[in-house]
Structure 1
Amino acid sequence: MCLFACSAPPPSPLLETPWREITWGDNSKDLQYLKNFQPQNEEATIRVLLYGPVGAGKSSFINSVNNVLQGRMTHDCLASATTSDQSFTKIYKTYKIKKERRGNFYPFVFNDIMGLEDGNGRGVRAEDIKLALKGHVKDRYKFNPVSSLSDDDPGYNSSPSISDRVHVLVCIYSANAPQMNSSVLEKMREIREAASDLGIPQLAILTHIDSACGETEKNLRNVYRSKHLKKKMGDFSSSLGIPMNCILLMKNYSHETQLNSDVSTLILNALRLMIDFGDDYADKL
């Protein structure tokens, strides 16, 4: 019998077992798969378009992928380290990733895009992203938040090739963000619907999982045991309509000066899935 007032221990913030399995430790198999990857459609370079609110980590994700594939820290895609409600990225830029041999690149590219912002006349316009999906936006086009790209603009590509088109659309969103603004959410739904009409496969990546969950910050391998992050994923899935099996949790390289195996594992898991999805779509074109 308890002689003093007894209280039950607080519930654990972690599930006993992970609800999604991840193979931690050796990343060599995934790295080799990507090094050997060749698109099924020989005419295509797989194009991955990243979109999402300002500050979600789109540019940092490209840098993180480059880090893992280069096997060292890199800084090819400029990213802002400060919090702002305005997009750091202003132009539509294609990022290629070098392979070991000089002049040789991986057969997939990433496009960073201006962030979605609250209200009209701010951030990238949903109409411009729709044009990018079809390959109509030329590389280095500078976005105009006030007016969309028109077919008589020098930045308009009137005859897009298979490689100019987007083969997989990836939404980047911060797991540490407050409730999504209704106008930004509406733009994201509009973009999703346009991609769905084109048959383009879609994924979502929730970033900043270390700052969103203390248990994951202590040990990244708790990522799919975290009750908080699982709820975040469920809420995000309900808001945007992306199935749970198409949402991935990830931490970008941010303060690190050396590669970390666990960080790289989550990046490679996401990268393999998006490249496979994009490859299957490109093969149908």
Structure 2
Amino acid sequence: MNLPEADPMRDRIDTTTAHPARRYNYWLGGKDNFAADRESADRIAAAWPSAPIAARENRRFLRRATTYLAREAGIRQFLDIGTGLPTANNTHEVAQAIAPETRVVYVDNDPMVMAHARALLTSAPEGRTAYLEADLREPETILTHPDLLATLDLSRPIGLMLVAVLHFIPGPGAAAPIVARLLDALPTGSYLVATNATKDFLSEPVAAVYDRMLATGQTDIWPRTRAEFAALLRDLDVVEPGVVPVNEWRAESEEAPRPASADVSVYGAVARLP
């Protein structure tokens, strides 16, 4: 694979350790990944064969949710944390196709993601995009970053996108304070778009294998039950159809046949800050 030559971040990219963004890219059929990413992805897929299906459906959910926020909710600002490597239907592309003046801040902790994003994700002339190398686990760093403050107006509604990133915050209740801090910085009328992997649809044998992988560090994807995921949306107005598998969220226009929820095993939701 090729990295942008002019970006100094390329020298900081660790190709020997798997990274979620590059593993996700591999599952989506991309080429921006290394042997360590592919080996990690294949180990997870061996225990959870539908992982590539889940990645694709998660991406389709992102497109539909962004379309809803831009077209129906009138959102013109987005904060996309854990953006991943550029592929089709990135948040700003979907939103700016509807409202070219939309502004988007992308955040990821992988320098390779940031190198590619700066090189490939070009905003519409009427809008603006910015790219922050930061970690979801440090929300204060994100919220006070000069580039974010120069791009987004925190007094106006924002679409907070936490898609395929919360399940990298391990532990019961561990994601809740992070989500709460981010939402505390946003005004009424903002939206949260979130997804999280789950074991709710897995058979007992498959779930047991996955538990062993978690215990031995072979996977870093922390699954949450529907109740645990829904708790992250507490005090928000959840948009219909509520907390559902991502393949079911307003997917009427998707091409058939559709995958079964057991083959996706990712919950998704869109909720408004009252």
TM-score, length of structure 1 as denominator length: 0.35
Relative CO higher for 1 or 2, CA cutoff 8 Å, sep ≥ 6? Answer: 1
Question: Which is higher, the Rg of structure 1 or of structure 2?
Answer: 1
- Name the structure with the higher helix share: 2
